[in-house]
Amino acid sequence: METPALQRIDVPFPSAGALHLRIALGACRLRLAAGAGEPWLSGACSDPSGALPCKVEQEEGTVRLSQQVRASGVLGLLSGLPSVELALGRSRPFGLALESGASEVALDLGGVPLSRLAVKQGAGRLSCDFAEPNPEAMESLTVESGAAALDLRNLGNAGFAEMTLQGGAAAYQLDFGGTLRRDARVAITTGVAVVRLHVPASTAARIAVEPAMGSLEVGDGFLKKEGAFWTEAAVAGRTPALSIAARVALGSLRISTG
């Protein structure tokens, strides 16, 4: 039975053409994973304090999930953060935009037909895994981060054509494992950060590092060519190819194929 502290979420796919899902949450623990074919969005929001209930708004093909603020319950937040667990339907492709504050976010997006993905994380921690290939050709993947720790895995399965990451003072781990199905370009710009890039040796990849005041560590499996670091698969001319441009203003950058 639904209580004031537990809200059920059940949003079917609308009949509209282009679909867009927007999730904007403040401080919470969020888990977002692949579900079945239907519904589009399902799960529950648990908020024992009653201070931050979830709110669902829908207009044609756009659905927005956000949090309201009830001043009467704010003191109850001292007992713990709200918890949100959601499943994404896979019957139709859609764009996903996620914005979160000082949160702990875990995304398991393997097999979800995403046409576009935009993630904005203010603080806290965020992990994202594409354990299965995206059945949809993703137009773009955008990540903006403040003082947050990011762990992005199996990005080769995301199916994006373009990826951009802009970050502040934090730690970033980007793993491009998975199967690259088309040429892809990645642009990474961070401030005072520790950045770790992993590219499988079997992936044709070229990594260009812009001069900055940070340190650079290059693992085995790369050849220096034309001012960039190439995997042996890239030197051999294999396709599709991954092109990465990275700039770490301060901090460190490590690239590996291990």
Place of tokens 């976010």: 105
- In tens digits, what is the pLDDT along the chain, a chain of 258 residues? 344 578 999 999 999 889 999 999 988 899 999 999 999 999 999 987 777 789 999 999 999 999 887 554 454 444 568 999 999 999 999 999 999 988 999 999 999 999 999 999 988 999 999 999 999 999 999 999 988 899 999 999 999 999 999 998 889 999 999 999 999 999 999 988 999 999 999 999 999 998 777 799 999 999 999 999 999 999 999 999 999 999 998 889 999 997
Q: Three-state DSSP class for 116?
A: strand
Place of tokens 């979420």: 9
Structure tokens at 127: 């992990």
Q: Which helix (H) or strand (E) holds 230?
A: strand 228-231
pLDDT at 3: 46
What is the C-alpha separation between 10 and 169, in angstroms, rounded?
37
What is the C-alpha separation between 176 and 257, in angstroms, rounded?
10
| Residue 87: partners with Cβ closer than 8 Å, 6 or more residues away | 32, 33, 34, 35, 36, 41, 42, 43
What is the C-alpha separation between 81 and 83, in angstroms, rounded?
6
List C-alpha distances in Å: 61 to 9, 20, 55, 111, 181.
Answer: 17, 6, 17, 21, 28
At 48, the amino acid letter reads P
pLDDT at 2: 44
pLDDT at 136: 97
pTM (two decimals): 0.92
At 116, the amino acid letter reads R
What is the C-alpha separation between 257 and 252, in angstroms, rounded?
17
Give the sign of the dihedral formed by CA 142, CA 19, CA 67, CA 41: negative
Q: What is the DSSP string of 33-52?
A: EE--SS-SEEEEEE-TTSSS
Cβ-in-10-Å burial (0-12, 13-18, 19+) of 122 comes to: middle
Place of tokens 């209930």: 53
Q: Which candidate, 201, 160, 161, 196, places its Cα nearest to that of 177? A: 201
